Amino acid sequence: MIRVELCNRQAEIEVPRRRLAAAVRRVLTEAAVDDARISLAVVDDPTIQELHREFLGHDDPTDVLSFLLERQGRTLEGEIVVSAQTAVAQAPRYGFSAAEELLLYVIHGALHLVGFDDRSAPQRAEMRAREQAHLEHWGIRPRQGKEVPGR
């Protein structure tokens, strides 16, 4: 069973709880994870900036942070934190709605939890392809011929 606990700590946008939780489950299921406990937090920029500074040493807001707490075979425990304020600010740049941008962040964070990385160009390309496939599942494509943004 994949359990996703969502905590909304912002007032910038309405959070599509079911869709975000379902997206996490879909990413994990595709990666052969069948037992998971995921904490998903939707926060504002000051909150994610504080976490970014504390855990990664970067003193600026970011779109998504993910923390793999434990992975043993088909079992996983992790946390995903996304910024609604960043989603609102970045969405127009890529032709997304804020909710679509937020969904991208959640998918990106879940992909990190199952082992995808984006440090090298080949890794980024593979991750972008997985993000695009997941977004297309939800009927979301970048508008105006834009590609899925790099994170």
The predicted model gives 65-84 an average pLDDT of: 96
Judge contact between 74 and 60, C-beta under 8 A.
no
User: What is the distance in angstroms between the CA of the first residue and the CA of the last residue of the chain?
Assistant: 29
* Entry pTM: 0.92
95-109 in b/e form (b: 16+ CB < 10 A) is: ebebbbbbbbbbbbb
Higher pLDDT, 108 or 147: 108
User: Which domains does the chain carry?
Assistant: 2-137 (3.40.390.30)
**Residue range 17-35: average pLDDT?**
97
Please name the residue ranges forming H helices in 11-150.
Answer: 17-30, 45-56, 84-94, 98-113, 121-137
